[in-house]
Amino acid sequence: MPAVTQTREAVEKLGQSTYKWGFETDIEMDMAPKGLNEDIIRLISSRKEEPEWMLEWRLAAYKTWQAMTEPKWAKVGYPPIDYQDAHYYAAPLKKPGPKSLDEVDPELLRTYEKLGIPLHEQAMLAGVEVPEGERMPVAVDAVFDSVSVATTFRKTLEEAGVIFCPISEAVKEHPDLVRKYLGTVVPAGDNFFSALNSAVFTDGSFVYVPKGVRCPMELSTYFRINAKNTGQFERTLIVVEEGASVSYLEGCTAPMRDENQLHAAVVELVAMDDASIKYSTVQNWYPGDEDGRGGIYNFVTKRGICRGARSKISWTQVETGSAITWKYPSCILQGEGSVGEFYSVAVTNNRQQADTGTKMIHLGRNTRSTIIAKTISAGRSDSTYRGLVRVQPKASGARNFTQCDSLLIGDQCGAHTVPYIESRNMNARIEHEATTSKISEDQLFYCRQRGLSEEDAVGLIVNGFCRDVLKELPMEFAVEAQKLLQISLEGSVG
């Protein structure tokens, strides 16, 4: 996979502990004035040429948001955010829609090259016949700031009947589907950040896999924050019909800057009978400098609903970036025998703070959930696992297994585990295991005696610690994630 190889190389070039993806692309921007009010929302809606119902939906969300207050229960601390001091819309100025990659701003393509995901290579890939036994190609819906500039692979996907497009396009071209599902898993008023997102979201992905279709390739979106002071409000909706399946990959990098940047995404997944959705994330937003200045604030609401019987939703995340992470990818297990999984690695270094975990809500009979959360703290960072397992009265035979392991590097970091367990059914079986450990001197010395450098030894031990999670990632991501883990922890030992 050339694209993937280059991604890997790009990651490898990050040989030093400083964040190297701190470049900014010089492209003309079409930007809304700072501030948030109904006029701005109308502006966003009109720039996106949205139908009336979409505008109404946004305005209702905005009203809800105005009545809400920012949640303060997470174990993260940051200065107050001035929501009026940000731009809520920024789009690269474009000629009437690029018909092909040739029409895409070359500056933009160069940005992707720096990131290691050259679109032209992916376009080439689209035309390449994949021999038997080779890995499935990866489709990338590239989100550059707020507007999706180019979408590849669409043709192959169309033939399979899969819709994979920017959500703004889906609002116009598949309004019935979007209207039917948008906000059904994460209602606008679910929380402060989801309400904000619902009011001002500018782009994101829409995926629809029809009945019985196994998506012929892994779908991938690379996010990237670019414009100064522009909050990113991605909105992703994935609907998988009966007996269908999809694997979705999300990876993030962001350029360096001084101001803190707000990121409040919402992701909704819907799985019908026997459907399966695998959602994988490698998150590497700029974490701030060694003193924690300038990192991304990442407030994400991700939730999936297993509506159908025997459906399955699996979240896998590797979180190495952001100054603040507030994120709880969750599963509502409604269908009988449905399965929810959450595999997470969260790494914090320097001054990073992460409060992340999951919620498994068991509604249906014989529903099952698995939670494997690995937390690694280094430097002066603080990391919290916060998870809820709730079994409702009708969920007879429900089962959960939770394992939370924390690894501490150095003596100035913190790791916290906050499990909430609520069972309203006598037949439920819930298991929770937790460990906290440090990388031992014995282990480091053993590795070094065998010829490994100290940093390689830490990388090896940390990757071993995370193995149960990393093995859930698609192959391309797993390699990148392993490298990222090591890079994120560089300078944390010795």
Q: Rounded to the nearest whole angstrom, what is the least distance from the CB of residue 463 to another protein in the complex?
A: 7
Which residues, listed in sequence order, are joined to residue 346 by a DSSP beta bridge? 319, 375
Taking the least distance from each CB to another protein, the nearer of 242 and 490 is 490
Taking the least distance from each CB to another protein, the nearer of 214 and 448 is 448
Residue 485's SS3 state is: helix
Q: Rounded to the nearest whole angstrom, what is the least distance from the CB of residue 453 to another protein in the complex?
A: 6
Q: Rounded to the nearest whole angstrom, what is the least distance from the CB of residue 327 to another protein in the complex?
A: 24
Q: Rounded to the nearest whole angstrom, what is the least distance from the CB of residue 100 to another protein in the complex?
A: 39
Taking the least distance from each CB to another protein, the nearer of 165 and 345 is 345
What is the C-alpha separation between 219 and 213, in angstroms, rounded?
A: 14
Q: Rounded to the nearest whole angstrom, what is the least distance from the CB of residue 217 to another protein in the complex?
A: 27
What is the C-alpha separation between 400 and 335, in angstroms, rounded?
A: 16
Q: In this structure, what are the phi and psi dihedrals at residue 470, rounded to the nearest 5 degrees?
A: -60, -30
Is residue 247 exposed (0-12), middle (13-18) or buried (19+ Cβ within 10 Å)?
buried
Is residue 403 exposed (0-12), middle (13-18) or buried (19+ Cβ within 10 Å)?
middle
Task: Show the tokens assigned to 474.
Answer: 């698609």
Q: Rounded to the nearest whole angstrom, what is the least distance from the CB of residue 467 to another protein in the complex?
A: 4
Q: In degrees, to the nearest 5, what angle opens at C-alpha 238 toward C-alphas 237 and 240?
A: 150
Taking the least distance from each CB to another protein, the nearer of 15 and 33 is 15
What is the C-alpha separation between 373 and 359, in angstroms, rounded?
A: 12
209 and 465 Cβ atoms separated by less than 8 Å: no
Q: Rounded to the nearest whole angstrom, what is the least distance from the CB of residue 345 to another protein in the complex?
A: 12
Q: Rounded to the nearest whole angstrom, what is the least distance from the CB of residue 454 to another protein in the complex?
A: 8
DSSP state of 431: E
Beta-carbon contacts of residue 445 (< 8 Å; ≥ 6 apart): none
Q: Rounded to the nearest whole angstrom, what is the least distance from the CB of residue 479 to another protein in the complex?
A: 13
Which residues, listed in sequence order, are joined to residue 144 by a DSSP beta bridge? 147, 224
Taking the least distance from each CB to another protein, the nearer of 9 and 56 is 9
Taking the least distance from each CB to another protein, the nearer of 222 and 477 is 477
What is the C-alpha separation between 222 and 390, in angstroms, rounded?
A: 33
Taking the least distance from each CB to another protein, the nearer of 300 and 470 is 470
Taking the least distance from each CB to another protein, the nearer of 184 and 436 is 436
Q: Give kind and range of the element (H or E) at residue 42.
A: helix 38-47
Q: Please list the alpha-helical segments (H only) found in 192-297.
A: 192-200
- Give the max Cα distance, the chain: 68
Among candidate residues 416, 456, 411, the one with its CA nearest the CA of residue 438: 411
Taking the least distance from each CB to another protein, the nearer of 429 and 448 is 448
What is the C-alpha separation between 382 and 28, in angstroms, rounded?
A: 39
Taking the least distance from each CB to another protein, the nearer of 69 and 449 is 449
Residues in touch with another protein (CB under 8 A): 440-443, 445-454, 456, 460-461, 463-468
Q: Rounded to the nearest whole angstrom, what is the least distance from the CB of residue 378 to another protein in the complex?
A: 18
265 and 301 Cβ atoms separated by less than 8 Å: yes
